[in-house]
Amino acid sequence: MIQKKSAKGDLEGKRGTFLALGLVLVLGLVYFGLELFATQDSGPGYVMADEEVIMVMEEDVLATDAPPPEPPQQQQQQEAIIEIVDDNTIVDDNWDLFNQEFDEDEVVNDIQQVEIVEAVVEEIPVRYAQNPAEFPGGTEELYKFLYANTRYPETAVQLNLNGTVIVEFVVEKDGKPSNAKITMSTAEIFNAEAIRIISIMPKWKPAVHNGQTVRSYFQLPITFTLSN
Q: What is the CATH number of the domain that holds 218?
A: 3.30.2420.10
- Cβ burial of 206 (10 Å; 0-12, 13-18, 19+) is buried
Q: Are 220 and 166 in contact (CB under 8 A)?
A: yes
Alpha helices in the chain (DSSP H): 7-13, 15-38, 58-65, 139-149, 154-158, 191-199
Domains of the chain: total: 1
Measure the CA dihedral 19/21/26/27, to 10°: 110
Residues 37, 57: Cα–Cα separation, whole Å:
20
**Is residue 129 included in any domain, yes or no?**
no
**Is residue 76 included in any domain, yes or no?**
no
Domain interval for residue 165? 139-224
* Side-chain half-sphere CA neighbours of 107 within 13 A: 1
**Is residue 150 included in any domain, yes or no?**
yes
User: pTM value?
Assistant: 0.48
- Cβ burial of 134 (10 Å; 0-12, 13-18, 19+) is middle
**Is residue 172 included in any domain, yes or no?**
yes
Q: Are strands 45-49 and 52-56 parallel, antiparallel or unpaired?
A: antiparallel
Per-residue pLDDT tens listing for the chain (228 residues)? 445 555 555 556 666 777 777 777 777 777 777 766 555 554 444 444 444 444 444 444 444 455 666 766 655 555 556 566 566 666 666 656 566 665 666 655 655 676 776 666 778 999 999 999 999 999 999 999 999 999 999 999 999 999 999 999 999 999 999 999 999 999 999 999 999 999 999 999 999 999 999 999 999 999 999 876
**Is residue 170 included in any domain, yes or no?**
yes
pLDDT at 186: 93
